[in-house]
Structure 1
Amino acid sequence: MDFRVASNKRLTSGGAEAHSRLSFYLTAPSLEVSLEEFEQFALDRLRVLKGLEEALSRGRRGEELEALVTSLWRKYMRTSGSSETSKDTISHFVLRLVYCRSDELRKWFLAMESSLFRHRFQSESFEDQKRFMEDNKIPYRAIGTSEFESVKDKLGQVARSLNQPVPNADSKFYKVPFEEVPELVSGRKVYIHKGLAFVPSTQLASLVVGQFRSKLSKALVLTNRKWMAMIAEEEADRLTPIVEALSSRYLGPDYSQAKVKTEVNLQDIDSLAKTSFPLCMRHLFFKLREEHHLKHGGRQQLGLFLKGVGLKLEDALAFWRSEFSQKVGVEKFDKEYAYNVRHNYGKEGKRTDYTPFSCNKVILSTPGVGDHHGCPYRHFSEDNLRVALGSLHLGGRALDDIMEKVRNRHYQLACSITFEATHGSSCAGINHPNQYFEESQKILQPKAPQASPNGVAEAPVTTS
């Protein structure tokens, strides 16, 4: 992939493949895009892929999944006319740069793009699917009526052996080289004649997705080589920071300020940690109480979280001072650690108002020996995680479900199940530690009394 940045600060690339709504993304588009669009297009596509990932991890299938993906595409990618095709192609190639840089990133991107392509291909009409395969020189030919009549008895025999409906004149079949469908051949699920397997259209998507996946897998490896050899260094001042940040970009609400209108002060912290902190913050909090110290990564993760839930700077300084002074003394805390607390609140240095870490950033962190930050679902051993979950009084089916999600690397879904099990209420999915806190407080905190028309607050109605 050969991206070139023009002198007018717009991004250009060579090649074209914009005539079809679907694409194998074989060549980068011959279009210019501003750096702002470069990032925004990628973020919009990333929202689609992340939404698809969450739906798949929650077991959504069939029509429910189709409706969700269609809705996500319409919300984030739909534009008028040919510009939708341009945005589709540009956003794919930008994310290809983002996700080519490690085996783990490539694996995720390959899985999500293949799933998205499958959905979009299956949504096309039979004629559009046929046209797409012709345009991309996929050697699968649909059989005509006369050819179907000549082999319908054989096709019927295969269908009956599989307890499937016998094909009729409306059934669609493709002729595919038999070596491309080894599973169907070995399972005697297709009729073969002269080296060609007669594959029903219901199986066609899997074949085309296989081609898509194979091409993209090779392209990601090549893109990584170009990225390492040229692009990363040449674009160190412009594209590289954007590309490196996108894979861990948080896409949800801003939690730099508390959204739940509660008075969070020092005397409430311990009880809130037990009831409303996600496991990552609960672990940090009680390690701090136990050891009276956290390394920098832990201080950042917990400190910004506490800022986000509404702990004021004065209370934050008092909180950290009360713990650290037990180990290093008040004077050393004020000299070496207080600056960092004020810095996180935007009161020192460049006075940047730092935001709490998202789940994605916590998951992608790399805690070392003696560190306690990170995501317990990812970074704890199975035994340690079971102990931590046991402290929440989780067991039985809920614990089994959580551990299953962890083994399948669905860490945020594991956290969501933890939330549901400890609160007795469903949630749409946890993407941010401060979201966990906010949703918990909505459930645990009683709503404020409603004012009556005469301005007097009405007591809540109770039943015995």
Structure 2
Amino acid sequence: MEVMRSQKKASSALTSSNGVSTLTLYRSAPTLEVRLEDFERFAVDRLLVLRGISDGLARGKKPDEMDKLVIDLWKAHMRHPQASEVNNKDIISHFVLRLVYCRSEELRKWFLSMESTLFRYRFRSVNSDVHLSLMTELGIPYKVVSQKEFEDLREQLNLVARSANQPLPTPNGLYKVSFEEVPELVATRKVFIQKGYAYVALNQVVSFVVPHFRSHLSKALVLTNRKWTSMIREQEKDRLTPIVEALATSYLGPDYSQDKEVGEISLKDIDQVARTSFPLCMQHLFNTLRDDHHLKHGGRMQLGLFLKGVGLKLDDALAFWKTEFSQKVGAERFDKEYAYSIRHNYGKEGKRTDYTPYSCQKIILSTPGVGDHHGCPYRHFSEENLRAALGKMGVSSRALEDVIEKARNRHYQLACTLTFEALHASSCDAGINHPNQYFSDSQKILKEKNMSTD
């Protein structure tokens, strides 16, 4: 099937001043056919951009750092072998993810926030001509301030700019809009107001354009959800629906089915590496198993596949689980009821599927019940229990408060990243996205430290 060649009628696209990307308002979905492989691949590439932005915001990056981050993310993930197709990729990926993230309030909220932030920083990179075109397309009423009016108000404009620590306005690039359009600027006293108009400088235009973009997208997501539930999901159940439903929780990194860099771990080393290199979710499961000699299915799957990924061979895995479970259920019952599922995880039973360890995203979204111990401690533990668990791991009191604060604000993977950094005295710029990544990075750091002390 042919990918679209032009999108001018569906939504105007505007080139940024640095030539990095185009800026599109996504006012209406394109009526075209897209190859299935492009449908998914473009969406994954855009998702990498949005998740990178989310991580940057959670880490408290400053506006100038976010500027650079957004440009770098866009360059890294939104390229296309054919330059003429870059804008098409932008539009297709946005509308695919709109389908993906329209399906619940929580998903809509995240997507709306990340897309609005992406638009904000891309908007900052385009010139004034583009600003005016966007304002016109969004239907924002504005007037360009004339030279005479500017001169008449110069003193008042400069006074407001100085008090707000803003650049002094210039005759070119000053606009009048209704003060109701810029409540944020009015509340913070960053604009001069006269006769119901706010006098907005070029560098402030973003403050009233982004809310219009956000409002349009918010309404569009609700409408898309209605179409999805009433029609699209059923119509596309054998083709697009599985892709759409998987993308929101998809893990986009290595699968860690076997950590080739770290190698194998043996039973005699497992307790030591659990203390030094298991993330909190796996340490909790491991310690619970050692103490209670049993885990429910969810815990067995989460820990079992993790151990497989860090290099525990099938025979050692069977011996490990049997040693623990036989203390509670007996060796005979273990062989009858539990050994099969372990062999199954290693691809030795059933469909012979080689199952991969769970990613952070999958673990965070799990719903452990009473008596379960799987899931993400940063999400599922009470604050009191989380503090105790982190203290037991050896996280210092100063770092602990930062971790708790991130968990409280639902930045669970960043909380885990901060835990890693505190315990290893090493930065993790890429962030923790997978328990087996945590283990692999930990082992590398520890081995390097051991080599330097030899």
Aligned pair in 2 of structure 1 residues 259, 60: CA closer, same or farther (>3 Å)?
farther
Q: How does 1:291-440 map to 2 (within 5 A)?
A: 291-428=292-429, 429-440=431-442
Report the more deviating stretch, 390-399 or 287-296. Answer: 390-399
Task: Supply the distance in 2 between the matched residues of 1:298 and 1:327 (Cα, whole angstroms).
Answer: 16
Report the 3-state secondary structure (helix = DSSP H, G, I; strand = E; otherwise coil) of the residue aligned with 1:368: coil
Structure 1's unaligned 5+ residue stretches are 1-7, 450-459
Alpha-carbon distance, 1:142 to partner: 3.1
Which residue is equivalent to 1:456? Answer: none
Which residue is equivalent to 1:177? Answer: 178
Alpha-carbon distance, 1:335 to partner: 1.3
Which residue is equivalent to 1:108? Answer: 110
Kindly indicate whether the alpha-carbon contact (under 8 Å) linking 2:264 and 2:310 is maintained by their aligned counterparts in 1. no
RMSD: 2.2
Structure 2's unaligned 5+ residue stretches are 15-21
1:210 matched to 2:182: no
Kindly indicate whether the alpha-carbon contact (under 8 Å) linking 2:284 and 2:373 is maintained by their aligned counterparts in 1. yes
Aligned pair in 2 of structure 1 residues 185, 300: CA closer, same or farther (>3 Å)?
same
Kindly indicate whether the alpha-carbon contact (under 8 Å) linking 1:10 and 1:35 is maintained by their aligned counterparts in 2. no
Kindly indicate whether the alpha-carbon contact (under 8 Å) linking 2:40 and 2:243 is maintained by their aligned counterparts in 1. yes
Per-residue CA deviations over 1:361-390 (Å, capped at 9, x if unaligned) read 111111111110000000101011011111
Task: Supply the distance in 2 between the matched residues of 1:396 and 1:135 (Cα, whole angstroms).
Answer: 52
Alpha-carbon distance, 1:137 to partner: 2.9
Which residue is equivalent to 2:193? Answer: 192
Task: Supply the distance in 1 between the matched residues of 2:239 and 2:93 (Cα, whole angstroms).
Answer: 17
Task: Supply the distance in 1 between the matched residues of 2:395 and 2:137 (Cα, whole angstroms).
Answer: 55
Task: Supply the distance in 2 between the matched residues of 1:177 and 1:405 (Cα, whole angstroms).
Answer: 38
Kindly indicate whether the alpha-carbon contact (under 8 Å) linking 1:29 and 1:86 is maintained by their aligned counterparts in 2. no
Which residue is equivalent to 1:4? Answer: none
Q: How does 1:101-250 map to 2 (within 5 A)?
A: 101-162=103-164, 164-169=166-171, 172-250=173-251
Structure 2 residue identity aligned to 1:151: L
Report the 3-state secondary structure (helix = DSSP H, G, I; strand = E; otherwise coil) of the residue aligned with 2:216: helix
Task: Supply the distance in 2 between the matched residues of 1:166 and 1:48 (Cα, whole angstroms).
Answer: 34
Report the 3-state secondary structure (helix = DSSP H, G, I; strand = E; otherwise coil) of the residue aligned with 1:404: helix
* TM-score (normalised: structure 1): 0.90
Alpha-carbon distance, 1:395 to partner: 3.4
Q: How does 1:445-460 map to 2 (within 5 A)?
A: 445-446=447-448
Task: Supply the distance in 2 between the matched residues of 1:93 and 1:394 (Cα, whole angstroms).
Answer: 43
Structure 2 residue identity aligned to 1:279: L
Structure 2 residue identity aligned to 1:139: P
Report the 3-state secondary structure (helix = DSSP H, G, I; strand = E; otherwise coil) of the residue aligned with 2:221: helix
Aligned pair in 2 of structure 1 residues 84, 141: CA closer, same or farther (>3 Å)?
farther
Task: Supply the distance in 2 between the matched residues of 1:380 and 1:461 (Cα, whole angstroms).
Answer: 37
Kindly indicate whether the alpha-carbon contact (under 8 Å) linking 1:22 and 1:132 is maintained by their aligned counterparts in 2. no
Which residue is equivalent to 2:86? Answer: 84
Kindly indicate whether the alpha-carbon contact (under 8 Å) linking 2:182 and 2:207 is maintained by their aligned counterparts in 1. no
Task: Supply the distance in 2 between the matched residues of 1:411 and 1:205 (Cα, whole angstroms).
Answer: 30
Aligned pair in 2 of structure 1 residues 446, 23: CA closer, same or farther (>3 Å)?
closer
Give percent identity, aligned residues only.
Answer: 63
Number of positions where the alignment pairs a residue of Structure 1 with one of Structure 2 = 443
Task: Supply the distance in 1 between the matched residues of 2:255 and 2:195 (Cα, whole angstroms).
Answer: 61
Aligned pair in 2 of structure 1 residues 357, 461: CA closer, same or farther (>3 Å)?
closer
Task: Supply the distance in 2 between the matched residues of 1:461 and 1:371 (Cα, whole angstroms).
Answer: 41
Which residue is equivalent to 1:3? Answer: none
1:286 matched to 2:262: no
Kindly indicate whether the alpha-carbon contact (under 8 Å) linking 1:18 and 1:85 is maintained by their aligned counterparts in 2. no
Kindly indicate whether the alpha-carbon contact (under 8 Å) linking 1:9 and 1:35 is maintained by their aligned counterparts in 2. no
Q: 2:10 aligns with which of 6, 13, 16?
A: 16
Report the more deviating stretch, 361-370 or 440-449. Answer: 440-449
* TM-score (normalised: structure 2): 0.92
Structure 2 residue identity aligned to 1:411: Y
